[in-house]
A and B are shown apart, each in its own frame.
Chain A
Amino acid sequence: AQKVTQAQTEISVVEKEDVTLDCVYETRDTTYYLFWYKQPPSGELVFLIRRNSFDEQNEISGRYSWNFQKSTSSFNFTITASQVVDSAVYFCALLSGSARQLTFGSGTQLTVLP
C-alpha cells in the first residue's frame, strides 16, 4: 500500500524566513516517483517537481529546494527567503510502481506574513 504523510497541517512564517515542509512516504515498491504540488488560494493545483526513486540528488530551483532521502523515506521541500506569494497549500504525492494513480498527502497550509 502507498501512503504519504504530511505531519504539518499549518505553518506560518514571516516574509524572508526559510521554511521546510516535511513529507514522509511509504511504499513497498523499489520504483516510484515523488511529487510536490502547490495549491494557491485560487484553487488550482500546480505541479512543482517530480523525483524518481533512483535519483537521490537534491534539486534546487530558484528559492525552492528539495531533499530526497530514501533512508528516511522523506522528500522535504524548502522555500528560502519566503514571500507572501508562497502562501498556499502544498501537497506531497507518490506514484509507486504498482499503482497507476497519485497518492496525495493531506497537505500543508503555508501562510507567509508580510
Chain B
Amino acid sequence: DAGVIQSPRHEVTEMGQEVTLRCKPISGHDYLFWYRQTMMRGLELLIYFNNNVPIDDSGMPEDRFSAKMPNASFSTLKIQPSEPRDSAVYFCASSSGATSGRTGELFFGEGSRLTVL
C-alpha cells in the first residue's frame, strides 16, 4: 500500500517567492496533519483537517501560510511570500478517525525540505 506521499522532497527558493507543498494522504484516512520541524522548535503542528475541513489552524505561524484540502486525496500548504525563517522540513501525516484519529497513530510522509535563501 502506498504511504503518505509528499512533493517536492526538496525545494530551494529565494525570499519572497511563493512555495507550494503537496500531500497525498493514505486512501481512506480522514485526518490530515501538517507539521513543521526545525532544530530550534522541534515538531510543531501547523494545521489539521478532518474530512477535508480545517479543524485547528492555530499553529499556522502567520498569514503568509495557508493550507487547503480540496478533496480527500490531496492537500497543499502554501507560503507566500516565503522568508528565510520558513526554512524547515514540512511533514504531512494522515490517520484514520475510525481507529486512530484521536489516538495519534499518524502515518507520516517523508517530508519536504524547504530552504529559503
Contacts and interface: CB of A to CB of B under 8 A. Distances in A.
A16 B114 CA distance: 37
Contacts of B25: none
B107 A101 contact: no
A35 interface: yes
A91 B43 contact: yes
B112 to A, nearest CB: 10
A50 B105 contact: yes
A95 B104 contact: yes
B48 A45 contact: no
Given A100-B56, A101-B56, A42 B110 contact: yes
Nearest to A45: B108
B64 interface: no
Interface stretch (A18-26, A72-80, A102-110): A102-110
Which of A37, A93, A100, A104 has the most C-beta atoms of chain B within 10 angstroms of its own C-beta?
A100
Contact of A104 (B43, B89, B113): B43
Interface string B3-33: 0000000000000000000000000000001
A50 B103 contact: yes
Q: Assign chain B's interface to a size class.
A: 20 to 34
A34 to B, nearest CB: 9
B106 interface: yes
Contact of A95 (B55, B56, B103): B103
A35 B104 contact: yes
Contacts of A47: 105-107
Given A43-B89, A50-B103, A106 B42 contact: yes
A33 interface: yes
Nearest to B107: A47
Interface string B89-113: 1010100000010111111111101
B45 interface: yes
A107 B110 CA distance: 17
Most buried by A among B89, B91, B108: B108
Interface of A: 33, 35, 37, 42-47, 50, 52, 91, 93, 95, 100-102, 104-107
8 contacts: A35-B104, A50-B104, A95-B104, A100-B56, A100-B102, A101-B48, A102-B104, A104-B43
